[in-house]
Copies of this chain bind each other. A is one copy, B any other.
Amino acid sequence: VARYAGVSTAVVSYVVNNGPRPVAPETAARVREAVNLLNYRPNQNAQALRRGTTEMIGLVTSDSENPFFTEFAAAIGAAAGDRGRALMMADSHASGDAERRLVDDLARRQVDGLLVASIWARPDLTLSAAGRSVPLVWIDAPGEVPNHASVGADGRGGAARGVGHLVHAHGHRTVGLVVGPDRANADPRERGWREALRAAGLPLGPVARCDWSRRGGVEGGRQLLEGENRPTAVFASSDLQALGVLHAAYQLGLDVPGDVAVMGFDGTQESEYCWPALSVVAQPIPEMAVAAVGLVLQADPSKDHHLFQPQLILRRSCGCP
């Protein structure tokens, strides 16, 4: 290009980037002409090497087919795009090893920042040295992550409000829980469910621990709803599981919400269009995405937890009209 326009490469650079040094208008015109003619596009890789910034951020989730992560990723992509960054996604398939490998790989690719939805409760421990060298924000974090920036929704509070609604607005006295397979009882949503029942002076309902998936939800739903003393309401810790519970209820010939009320957690689009439409504790996905991107893009993210309040969306499945 420089040769074609009869100038030095420096001038081309000045023109393409508007600076940092001025260029005579007519020279600039000549360069631009050459650029168009030769269809020159700066090699962003070389720019990255030189400038030390790739203008891309990495995202690692545990299940890229889960609608919650899908919608989160889309929101993050949009937020990143608004700030001129591209998004590089990777899926750990809920494997800690893979998670670590992917963080490493992304770091090697010189991403400007890393967003990670870890499968661990103490994700920082798994962080490789390579991972430490790039700004990193934990997303979908259940709580504070020592020494790291993190964003997440208030699972405990949200679940408590959801269960509270089932109890106080609809008079349920046995509220079952479908939650992830973690046996440590550590999930904030489980704590919220427990607290809400305790606060209402009610006994804890039955608990099904199963996979974070539709299939898991079906299994959990069957476990809870098959016996004689089935709960009159079920709170699920994710939309996917709630959808499975719905499916299980239908299979057992139960009416929702007539025979059993169901509430989900996440607020994905799918929850709005199933039948009956699912009442959910909805995470503020767009806000969290913007916050996460904003955080990771400041060179040195403040190391604290950013807690977002989910919102109760009442639809038909809990008995609301």
Could you list which residues of chain A lie within 8 angstroms of chain B, going by C-beta atoms? 39, 41-46, 48-49, 54, 56, 64-65, 67, 70-71, 73-74, 77-78, 86-91, 104-110, 129-130, 214-215, 218, 243-244, 246-247, 250, 269-270, 272-276
Cross-chain pairs A/B with CB under 8 angstroms, 19 sampled: A39-B129, A41-B130, A44-B109, A45-B110, A56-B109, A64-B70, A65-B67, A65-B70, A65-B71, A65-B74, A77-B89, A77-B90, A86-B88, A87-B88, A88-B89, A89-B89, A247-B274, A247-B275, A250-B275
A315 to B165, CA, bound (A): 35
Tell me how many chains of this kind the complex includes. Answer: 2
Decide: A86 and B90 in contact? CB cutoff 8 A.
yes
A65 to B106, CA, bound (A): 23
Decide: A44 and B91 in contact? CB cutoff 8 A.
no
Decide: A87 and B89 in contact? CB cutoff 8 A.
yes
Nearest CB of B to A210, in Å = 14
A108 to B215, CA, bound (A): 42
Q: Assuming the A-B contacts A70-B64, A130-B39, A275-B246, are A269 and B214 also in contact, with contact meaning beta carbons closer than 8 angstroms in the complex?
A: yes
Decide: A45 and B54 in contact? CB cutoff 8 A.
yes
Residue of A109, A273, A275 contacting most chain B CB atoms (<10 Å)? A273
Nearest CB of B to A81, in Å = 8
Which among B64, B86, B89, B250 is the interface contact of A109 at CB below 8 angstroms?
A: B86
Chain B residues lying within 8 Å of A39, measured Cβ to Cβ, are 129-130
Nearest CB of B to A280, in Å = 15
A107 to B244, CA, bound (A): 42
Decide: A41 and B273 in contact? CB cutoff 8 A.
no
Minimum CB distance partner of A277 in chain B:
B247
A86 to B91, CA, bound (A): 10
Which among B43, B64, B74, B108 is the interface contact of A77 at CB below 8 angstroms?
A: B64
Which among B87, B91, B275, B276 is the interface contact of A74 at CB below 8 angstroms?
A: B91
Nearest CB of B to A78, in Å = 8
Minimum CB distance partner of A240 in chain B:
B273
A215 to B272, CA, bound (A): 10
Chain B residues lying within 8 Å of A108, measured Cβ to Cβ, are 41-44
Chain B residues lying within 8 Å of A275, measured Cβ to Cβ, are 246-247, 250, 274-275
A130 to B40, CA, bound (A): 8
Minimum CB distance partner of A109 in chain B:
B44
Nearest CB of B to A190, in Å = 23
Chain B residues lying within 8 Å of A64, measured Cβ to Cβ, are 70, 73-74, 77
Chain B residues lying within 8 Å of A274, measured Cβ to Cβ, are 243, 247, 274-275
Chain B residues lying within 8 Å of A86, measured Cβ to Cβ, are 88, 90, 105-106, 109
A54 to B105, CA, bound (A): 12
Q: Assuming the A-B contacts A70-B70, A105-B86, A129-B39, are A273 and B244 also in contact, with contact meaning beta carbons closer than 8 angstroms in the complex?
A: yes
Q: Assuming the A-B contacts A87-B90, A89-B77, are A218 and B49 also in contact, with contact meaning beta carbons closer than 8 angstroms in the complex?
A: no
Q: Assuming the A-B contacts A41-B108, A41-B130, A89-B87, are A214 and B77 also in contact, with contact meaning beta carbons closer than 8 angstroms in the complex?
A: no
Nearest CB of B to A122, in Å = 21
Nearest CB of B to A36, in Å = 10
